[in-house]
Structure 1
């Protein structure tokens, strides 16, 4: 196979801050950005101010392990 046909070369990957060995492809990054944009719009529609939403996103970014643990707990509770 030609190196140019290899998806690793055609779709660049990005290092993830959540796991040093985990890499996000550009497609997955696009999906994540769309989800976060939707969350932003939902919070704004629910009456959160722009500064409040930014503060929430900043707080989440500072503690990704806490967020991952809470999300797993919520997902397991709904099963």
Structure 2
């Protein structure tokens, strides 16, 4: 069983923080043997995915008319 949660939390400065949690249960026989492989494979996939989200968020924030763009102008 596995669950994945994504939460956007507003920050006092008007920004937003992305919090993500992944919980996996290795309860079936044989799945525990694959746990180290899955954990190692998750890191690069997770990192690439979060960097992609960061890039798209920053591009959106720089777009004129976006709320983040207006805040950065001061």
What is the TM-score normalised by the length of structure 2?
A: 0.37
**Which of the two has greater strand per residue?**
2
What is the TM-score normalised by the length of structure 1?
A: 0.35
**Which of the two has greater helix per residue?**
1
Could you say which structure has the larger radius of gyration? Answer: 2
Bigger RCO (CA 8 Å, 6+ sep) = 2
